[in-house]
Amino acid sequence: MQQIIPHLWYDTGAAEAANLYVSLFENSRILQVTTLHGTPSGDVDTVDFELAGVRFAAISAGPYFALNSAISLMVTCRSVEEVDRLYAALSEGATELMPLGEYPFSKRYAWLADRFGLNWQFTYFETDEIAQKIRPNLLFANEVCGKAGEAFTFYASVFPGSVPGYVNHYLPGEARNDCAKINYSELTLLGHQFVAMDHGLGEGDPFNEAFSFMVLCKNQQEIDYYWEKLSFVPEAEQCGWLKDPFGLSWQIVPENMGNQLAAATPEQRARMTEAFLSMKKLDIAALEQARLG
């Protein structure tokens, strides 16, 4: 089971965005759509889906947070034609960050923000083996520029069995900001691959709640562990959400919570929603008590 789930926050378009994304990749599907009532954002839709075998979650919960370039999805493509196809499919209404073309690091590459705000990087990589086609890419900018390596070391200390991958540093004078150190690095956390880099210009979009990561926990002990290790911003603690020392948002949740909410009666779902909205760190026993009434 995938234990770290990328979570996307949209104003109103979560289901529309998810349906578009699953149409573009093989081994992709909508898993479930659930409506939660009585939240601070009113009625909200949550969507669980798979893209190229990787699980994602999305929510339509109002215009409180906006996706940006701090976290993008890096897609490794098997051909130039695949890069072109995906770029064309997401280009309508998109914002171009790096135009489609050849670069020193890839024969075919592009970076855009689609019409829903989600950032995508498409790159052609000559290989027969792609372990994880879609990987979150963390871009460390502003006050955390230069801390990509420190962050990956921290995450490796938190998540058991982490596997470090390739690391490449900026050459002298290559980055315009002296704080920037790493221009590409890889890390596998709980079997999920991440990419990170320092922003070469130093200034850029900050991490925010629009792109967070859900950690699925099998018991209260795991919830307590990750909460203690990751939470560094007390005012960000709400409904299982927290922020780590680098400003990245995480949701520490029971592994069966999504399925329980989806399968619950309207009355059970209302009680569970009311219960978790009042919590900071989630309490599995209290949520179960609320479900059972």
Report the C-alpha gap between 70 and 143 in whole angstroms: 13
**Which CATH code is given to the segment(s) 4-64+209-292?**
3.10.180.10
pLDDT at 167: 97
Give the right CATH number for 71-198 from 3.10.129.10, 3.30.720.110, 3.40.50.300, 3.10.580.10.
3.30.720.110
pLDDT at 206: 98
pLDDT at 127: 77
pLDDT at 129: 79
Report the C-alpha gap between 239 and 104 in whole angstroms: 44
pLDDT at 126: 84
Domain ranges for the chain: 4-64+209-292, 71-198
Report the C-alpha gap between 226 and 162 in whole angstroms: 14
Three-point CA angle 55, 265, 270, nearest 5°: 85
Q: Divide the 293 residues of the chain into consecutive groups of 10 and give the mean pLDDT of each group.
A: 97 96 98 89 92 98 97 97 98 98 96 99 87 97 98 98 95 94 97 97 97 98 99 97 99 94 90 94 96 90
Residue type, 123: T
Report the C-alpha gap between 265 and 260 in whole angstroms: 10
Question: With contact defined as beta carbons under 8 Å apart, do 50 and 31 qualify?
Answer: yes
Bridge partners of residue 50, in order along the sequence:
29, 55
Report the C-alpha gap between 44 and 57 in whole angstroms: 13
Of 196, 207, 202, nearest to 179 (Cα)?
Answer: 202
pLDDT at 33: 94
pLDDT at 125: 87
pLDDT at 37: 87
